[in-house]
Each structure stands twice: as C-alpha cells, then as structure tokens.
C-alpha cells in the first residue's frame, strides 16, 4: 500500500471513529432540529406576579446559553392558564398538539397539575413541575413527572418543627387559600406540629380570589402563639395589609409558607413585613455562586429580587439541561429523558439537588426572616434544614399508608370554637 493510499485509509478510519464520539452526537442533535420547550404559567389573575416571574427567569436561563442546550437550539412556547384548571388543560393541549413541544415546565398551581395529570400521562409529556400537588410524586406518581421545587408540605413540615423547637410555640392557628396547595400545606404543618406536642386550635380557608379578608380577621383567635400563612401569589401581601389595618400586628405572631412573603410581593410591602419568618427551598440571599449570579442578573433586569417562582423555572431548566447533557440532547427519546431526569444530581441556584425514586426533589429548606437591606426587603436565612425529603423524617412506606394530605386529613382534633 503506497503512502498516499495509507493516508486515505487512516483518514477514513479516523472519521469513522469520530462518528462514534459525543462530538458527532452533538452534530446529530443539531441536525435533528430545535428542542421545543413548553412553559405553562399564569400571566393573569391573582397568581400572575409569580407566573410572570417564571417566564422571566426561564428566558434569562435560556438567554445565558444563547437558547442552546446539549448542542441543540431551544425554542420556547408559553401558555397562560390564568390560574384556572380547565384553562390549564386547554393551554397544555395547544402546547402539545399545535406547538409539538418535547418537554414541559409547569404548571404553577397544584389544582392545575391535578387537572392536567391524565393528559400528561395519555400523551407521555415529560414534565418538570413547579406545582406542588403532593400525590403526583407519591401514591399516584406519574412516569412522566418530576419536580425540582417541592411538594406543598415539604417546606411546611420543617417550619412546624422550627415553631415547636426554636420558637417554643404550643398553640397555633392556620390560614391558607382554599385549594389543594393550601390544604396540603396546612395538613403537613398540622401533622408535624401536633405530633411534636403542639395544638392547632384554628384552621381557616379563604377562596383564592376573595376580595376581602375582613371576615377571617374578625374570627382570628388572639390567644395563640402564632398563625401560619399558607397563601400563594399576592394573597399573603393582601392578607398582611388587612391584618395591620385591623390592628392585629403585635397581638398575633406571624410565620408563613414558601410563597406567603415571596420576593415577588415583598417589593410592594413596607415595615409590616420585617421580622416575619417563612420556610422555603430558596432565598435570593443564598450565597452559592450560581445563585449570586442569577439573583444579581435578575435584579439588574427587573429591579427586584427573584423569589420562589423565578427560582422555580431557573432550577427546573438546570435540571433539564443536566438530563439532556446525559442523553446527548436526544429529547425525542422520552423514556431515556425521564430516566436521566430522575438520576440528576446537580448544583443549582437553590443548592445541590437530587431526586427520590418517585421523581421528587431532595434538597435544602431554609427558615428565612424578612429584613431591610440596601433599601429593599429581603429574606435572610436564619436556619437550614439539609436534604429535606417530601416524606420529612417519616419512612416513605409508612407515610404512603396514610391518605394524601388534605383539608380533612389529618383530622383536626384540637380546634376550638
């Protein structure tokens, strides 16, 4: 074989070897066309402040990467559910059947997730949920559903522990939005608080769109150590404003769940919020390198700090990208994508995350306190509960023997008229 022919053979062999490498995988991914990513969020109604932040943060993540993931271009399609379960289903159908999305981030609310669950299963839509609906990663775990944020009760259970052990509270009242998210959050708080020796003496539920909290405040018990707020969207802000108007500040201590005093509404509040503690898997004040950049860039673009809703899509996008990298961008292979999503171990803006066998995140939960910093209100971290599971400290098999957390379970045995 002459030298020229030998060179040609060697070149052909090298090309064949290259085709088996990840580099050629990226080339094939690019040739396959863009990844079509759907976002189901809320842009109108009482949950809109958070829903708009979801879109802003996801766009920020994609822009930072020039709308590329795993060597493929990403196209984003957004549906507005308006916070209405029936509309959520319609908008998801449009994203899947008209826009042909490969993967979904969203929806926002637990009742929306429950409304689209059967469609996600029927259409095999890989979904990274922001919604906290408990049973979708518990007794009715979906093969197409993972969650990088938390269940409704995943942060409420550590807050109950904190109220008992750190604040030394024994008697409490609870109030939340009258929907699945509020029911499940209060149920988890109640269970941990009462099993630890405390008593829940009052539970109130208000419609998501209630125009006025006056009747609830008129009935609020003041002979308690504190009240836990399980509100979403702007309702925590609205409740606290009326709480102060009714002269309740100083009479009843207040703590809250992960969205009660979100950064998205703190910017509209004043000194009435200072000192109030909430429990969440995120704070804009977290000092890890990923979050320091994310929060600074989000603040520069939007003139306020990112909160739960913004961090939710930013974290879910990081989880998605990690999974796509693991399968070389082959988003069309749905089973491989879901397997990769559930195997993700990644550093994110919220800190390190991994997933349990049900597809739900295991990650840190933070007890936060509102302070004024550089002229704005922020949620500083007072305490960290590391690697919190959706099952809290219970064994999963024991936890799942009980009914799903709800308005009626666990039964409230210590209510006072």
Q: Residue 31: pLDDT band by 50, 70, 90 thresholds?
A: low
Q: Residue 363: pLDDT band by 50, 70, 90 thresholds?
A: very high
**Residue 8 pLDDT > 80, yes or no?**
no
Q: Residue 5: pLDDT band by 50, 70, 90 thresholds?
A: very low
**What is the C-alpha to C-alpha distance for residues 237 and 397, in angstroms, rounded to an integer?**
38
Q: Mean of the pLDDT values across residues 5-25?
A: 46
Reported as a single tens digit per residue, the pLDDT across 336-354 is 999 999 999 999 999 999 9
Q: Report residue 334 as tokens.
A: 């749905």
pTM check: above 0.85: yes
Partners of residue 211 on adjacent β-strands: none
Reported as a single tens digit per residue, the pLDDT across 93-124 is 999 999 999 999 999 998 999 999 999 999 99
**Residue 234 pLDDT > 90, yes or no?**
no
pLDDT computed for residue 417 by the predictor: 86
pLDDT computed for residue 264 by the predictor: 82
Peptide bond into 410 cis (omega under 30): yes
Q: Residue 223: pLDDT band by 50, 70, 90 thresholds?
A: very high
Q: Residue 86: pLDDT band by 50, 70, 90 thresholds?
A: very high
Q: How far is CA 143 from CA 121, 181, 193, 318, in A?
A: 8, 22, 32, 20
Reported as a single tens digit per residue, the pLDDT across 117-170 is 999 999 999 999 999 999 999 999 999 999 999 999 999 999 999 999 999 999
Mean pLDDT across the chain, nearest whole number? 92
**Residue 12 pLDDT > 50, yes or no?**
no
pLDDT computed for residue 21 by the predictor: 45
**Residue 188 pLDDT > 50, yes or no?**
yes
Asked, colleague to colleague, whether 29-150+287-363 and 156-285+365-399 share their fold, the answer is: yes
**Residue 23 pLDDT > 70, yes or no?**
no
**Residue 28 pLDDT > 60, yes or no?**
no
Tell me the fold of 156-285+365-399: Rossmann fold (3.40.50)
Question: Count of residues for the chain?
Answer: 417
Q: Would you kindly state where each structural domain of the chain is located, as residue ranges?
A: 29-150+287-363, 156-285+365-399
Q: Mean of the pLDDT values across residues 211-231?
A: 96
Reported as a single tens digit per residue, the pLDDT across 306-327 is 999 999 999 999 999 999 999 9
Cβ neighbours, 10 Å, residue 398:
9
Burial (CB < 10 A; 0-12, 13-18, 19+), residue 236, is buried
**Residue 176 pLDDT > 80, yes or no?**
yes
- The CATH number of the structural domain formed by 29-150+287-363 is 3.40.50.2300
* Angle, CA 231 vertex, CA 226 and CA 233 arms, to 5°: 145
């Amino acid at each position: 074989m002459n030298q020229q022919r030998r060179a040609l053979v060697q070149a052909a062999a090298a090309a064949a070897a290259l085709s088996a490498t990840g580099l050629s995988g990226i080339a094939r991914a690019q040739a396959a066309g863009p990844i079509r990513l759907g976002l189901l969020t809320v842009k109108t109604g009482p949950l809109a402040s958070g829903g708009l932040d979801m879109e802003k943060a996801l766009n920020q993540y994609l822009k930072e990467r020039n709308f590329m993931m795993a060597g493929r271009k990403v196209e984003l399609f957004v549906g507005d559910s308006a916070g209405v379960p029936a509309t959520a289903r319609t908008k998801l159908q449009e994203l899947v059947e008209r826009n042909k999305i490969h993967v979904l981030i969203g929806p926002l609310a637990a009742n929306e997730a429950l409304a689209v669950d059967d469609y996600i299963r029927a259409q095999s839509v890989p979904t990274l949920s922001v919604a906290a609906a408990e049973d979708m990663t518990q007794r009715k775990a979906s093969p197409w559903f993972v969650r990088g944020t938390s269940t409704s009760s995943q942060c409420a259970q550590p807050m109950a522990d904190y109220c008992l052990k750190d604040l030394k509270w024994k008697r409490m009242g609870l109030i939340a939005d009258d929907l699945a998210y509020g029911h499940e959050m209060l149920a988890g708080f109640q269970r941990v608080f009462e099993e630890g020796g405390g008593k829940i003496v009052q539970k109130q539920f208000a419609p998501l769109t209630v125009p006025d909290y006056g009747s609830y405040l008129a009935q609020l018990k003041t002979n308690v150590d504190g009240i836990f707020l399980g509100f979403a969207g702007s309702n925590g802000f609205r409740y606290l404003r009326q709480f102060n108007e009714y002269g309740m500040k100083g009479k009843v201590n207040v703590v809250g769940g992960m969205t009660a005093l979100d950064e998205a509404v703190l910017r509209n509040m004043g000194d009435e919020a200072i000192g109030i503690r909430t429990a969440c898997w995120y704070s804009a004040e977290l000092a890890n390198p990923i979050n320091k950049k994310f929060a600074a860039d989000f603040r520069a673009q939007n003139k306020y700090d990112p909160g739960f809703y913004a961090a939710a899509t930013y974290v879910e996008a990081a989880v998605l990208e990690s999974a796509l990298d693991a399968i070389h961008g082959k988003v069309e292979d749905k089973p491989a994508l879901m397997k990769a999503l559930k195997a993700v171990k990644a550093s994110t803006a919220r800190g390190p995350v991994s997933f349990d066998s049900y597809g739900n995140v295991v990650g840190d939960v933070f007890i936060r306190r509102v302070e004024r910093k550089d002229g704005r209100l922020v949620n500083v971290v007072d305490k960290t509960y590391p690697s919190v599971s959706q099952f809290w400290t219970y064994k999963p098999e024991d936890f799942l023997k009980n009914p799903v957390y709800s308005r009626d379970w666990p039964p409230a045995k210590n209510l006072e008229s």
